């Protein structure tokens, strides 16, 4: 592995860009982990978040060690009358998308029906939650790593060096940053029911995008991120408005 690439300005710039990319691609993951661990007993939530993100890091580092095999997963598995159907990558996205839509939709229905009360806290099995986190880790890791590897061609051309050390460091740094802020994100989402519903809606849309990508439909995720940011801004305005109305004292 070529460490000299980190001594150049371009190498450090690519490290910064890839780290930012990994953090953005990991937002889906950390939102899912935040919501799924909220149903655990409070003493197990921190443990589950750490295990979930640690497993995400292990999965991504492992996938990087088999990068050439991963890129072969983008090749079609089935051919019929000249048409190509499904690659290994597509099947992972399809299964993960269906799981994400189902799980997030289920959480939304439970919130709407009011089944998320304190009496249910702690009843969910820690092992079952960790298994669900691992499943979604694999899906998001595939998407994240294949995207990062796809950028290595440009890095090789410009730096004339092996860029894998940059990808390894970007993955490690991004996961450390997400681990540091996991509790704050989790508390922020789970302490605000309206924000939590927006986050769940975001996860449903990401699941739909994954299913679409499995069928080779080009869907720009940026539109979903922009829509989520817009929805959050509107909701923050609503929260501020409700707070002002509660504090308002009419003049007599």
Q: Determine phi and psi for 75, rounding to 5 degrees.
A: -85, 145
Element housing 83 (H / E): strand 83-87
- What's residue 48's pLDDT? 86
Strand partners, 87: 76
Quick check: 250 pLDDT over 70? Answer: no
Per-residue confidence band for 24, with pLDDT thresholds at 50, 70 and 90: confident
User: Which of 43-52, 73-82, 122-131, 226-235 has the weakest average pLDDT?
Assistant: 73-82
Query: What per-residue confidence (pLDDT) applies to 117?
Result: 46
DSSP H or E segment with residue 181: helix 164-190
Give residue 71's pLDDT. 58
Question: Is the distance from CB of 10 to CB of 158 less than 8 angstroms?
Answer: yes
Question: Which residue from 247, 51, 224 is spatially nearest to 137, judged by alpha carbons?
Answer: 51
Contacts of residue 129, defined as CB under 8 A and 6 or more positions apart, other chains included, come to 36, 37, 39, 40, 48
Q: Where are the domains of the chain?
A: 4-75+83-220
* Average pLDDT value for residue range 225-240: 85
Q: Give the residue, 198 or 124, on which the prediction is more confident.
A: 198
In angstroms, the CA 73 to CA 23 distance is: 24
Residue 152 CA: distances (Å) to CA of 1, 14, 19, 83, 135: 14, 10, 14, 29, 26
Mean pLDDT of the chain: 77
Per-residue pLDDT, averaged over 202-221, amounts to 83
pLDDT band at 77 (very low <50, low <70, confident <90, very high): low
Q: Would you say 198 and 236 are in contact if contact means Cβ atoms under 8 Å apart?
A: no
Residues 183-210 have a mean pLDDT of 86
Tell me the pLDDT tens digit for each residue of 32-73: 888 888 878 888 888 888 888 888 888 888 877 776 666 566
List all residues 6 or more positions away from 71 whose beta carbon is below 8 Å from its beta carbon.
146, 149
| pLDDT at residue 206 in the model | 87
Question: Kindly report the CA angle at 49 between 34 and 168, in degrees rounded to 5?
Answer: 105
pTM above 0.75, yes or no: no
Is the separation of the CB atoms in 213 and 74 below 8 Å? Answer: no
Closest CA to 214 of 114, 86, 103, 77: 86
In tens, the pLDDT along 135-190 reads: 888 788 777 777 666 666 666 666 666 667 877 888 888 888 888 888 888 888 88
Please say whether the beta carbons of 140 and 63 come within 8 A. no
pLDDT band at residue 1 using 50, 70 and 90 as cut-offs: low
- pLDDT (average), residues 197-212: 88
Cα(166)–Cα(8) distance, integer angstroms: 12
Write down the pLDDT at residue 118. 44
User: What are the CA-CA distances from residue 3 to residues 6, 7, 11, 64, 163 (Å)?
Assistant: 6, 8, 10, 16, 9
Does residue 109 surpass a pLDDT of 60? yes
């Amino acid at each position: 592995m070529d460490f000299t690439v980190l001594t150049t300005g371009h190498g450090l710039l690519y490290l910064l860009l890839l780290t930012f990319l990994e953090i953005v691609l990991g937002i889906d993951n950390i939102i899912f982990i935040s919501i799924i661990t909220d149903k655990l007993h409070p003493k197990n939530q921190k443990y589950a978040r750490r295990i979930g993100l640690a497993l995400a890091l292990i999965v991504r580092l492992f996938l990087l060690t088999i990068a050439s095999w991963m890129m072969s997963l983008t090749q079609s598995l089935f051919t019929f009358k000249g048409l190509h159907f499904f690659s290994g990558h597509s099947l992972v996205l399809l299964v993960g998308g269906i799981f994400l839509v189902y799980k997030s939709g289920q959480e939304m229905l439970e919130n709407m029906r009011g089944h998320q009360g304190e009496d249910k806290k702690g009843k969910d099995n820690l092992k079952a939650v960790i298994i669900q986190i691992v499943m979604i880790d694999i899906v998001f890791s595939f998407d994240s790593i294949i995207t990062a590897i796809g950028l290595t061609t440009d890095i090789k051309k410009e730096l004339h060096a092996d860029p894998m050390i940059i990808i390894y460091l970007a993955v490690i740094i991004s996961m450390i940053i997400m681990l540091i802020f996991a509790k704050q994100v989790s508390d922020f989402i789970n302490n605000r029911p309206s924000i939590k519903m927006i986050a769940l809606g975001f996860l449903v849309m990401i699941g739909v995008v994954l299913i679409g990508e499995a069928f080779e439909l080009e869907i720009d995720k940026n539109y979903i991120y922009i829509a989520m940011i817009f929805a959050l801004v509107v909701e923050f305005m609503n929260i501020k408005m409700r707070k002002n109305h509660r504090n308002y004292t009419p003049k007599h």
